[in-house]
Amino acid sequence: MNPQNENRNRTILVTGAASGIGAALCRRLAAPDITLFIHTRANRTGAEEVARAVEAKGGRSHLLLGDLADTGVAADLIASVASEGRLDGLVANAGFADKTPLASLEDDALAHSLAAITGGFHRLCRAAMPLLQAAEVGRVVAVSSFVAHRFQLDGVSMPASAAAKAGLEALARALAVDLAPHGVTVNCVAPGYVQKQAGAHAALNAESWRRAAERIPLGRLGQPDEIAALIEFLLSPDAAYITGQTIHADGGMGL
């Protein structure tokens, strides 16, 4: 089968999909030939709203809850997806920002970031490998962050998040090597400052967000849908020759 023509009956798992980038991605992907597994740690209301939007566009959706810091959750999520008999795309988007400075960062807090973000991705991929290897067009996209690359954050330090996201990127590169013989691609997207939904948790206050926008060459924050558009492309058959990469979507902040 020609992978360039294979774009039907896809099953995709998106973690952290109740708001922000994950929710925007689900809305973009929604179509009659797409089954979406919409994961959230605890925001059932947000996930249900996303599911309704998916189904309004003719897509199928399943809601999954669980904290990926818990070691058994990833395998349970993949077992639920396996009930569909296939997994074509895995998007590891779940995570959180911890701005605790290194001098104040307790062992437990660092361990929690690593368990939820780096460890959660590892366990998801380990459980999903047989399904991904069997996919006609297998895709993995992990959502990283600029904090793993840039540390001039106007006095805000995020060492726990930086370590967790850097580990995520390293695991993604290793997975890209392991899955390449099966035609499965694995990439990371590293967003810059992205606009939060109203009422959503934010690591920065309003003044810090304003100053952040001033440092971005494009002069504004990114929108969740703009990051989702890049992820959608990496999930597509057209991205078949891109793997092992971390692609920055930061409005030029890394220049």
pLDDT tens for 200-221 read 555 566 777 777 788 899 999 9
Write the DSSP assignment of the chain as a string of letters.
--GGG--SSEEEEESS-SSHHHHHHHHHH--TTEEEEEEESS-HHHHHHHHHHHHHTT-EEEEEE--TTSTTHHHHHHHHHHTTT---EEEE---------GGG--HHHHHHHIIIIIIHHHHHHHHHHHHHHH-SS-EEEEE--GGGT---STT---HHHHHHHHHHHHHHHHHHHHHGGGT-EEEEEEE-SBPPPTT---SS-HHHHHHHHHTSTTSS-B-HHHHHHHHHHHHSGGGTT--S-EEEESTTTT-
pLDDT tens for 14-44 read 999 999 999 999 999 999 999 999 999 999 9
Predicted confidence at residue 212, as pLDDT, reads 77
The proportion of the chain whose per-residue pLDDT surpasses 70, expressed as a percent, equals 90
> Span 143-166, mean pLDDT?
86
pTM of this structure: 0.92
Predicted confidence at residue 7, as pLDDT, reads 45
pLDDT at 152 over 70: no
Q: Which domains are seen in the chain, by residue range?
A: 8-249 (3.40.50.720)
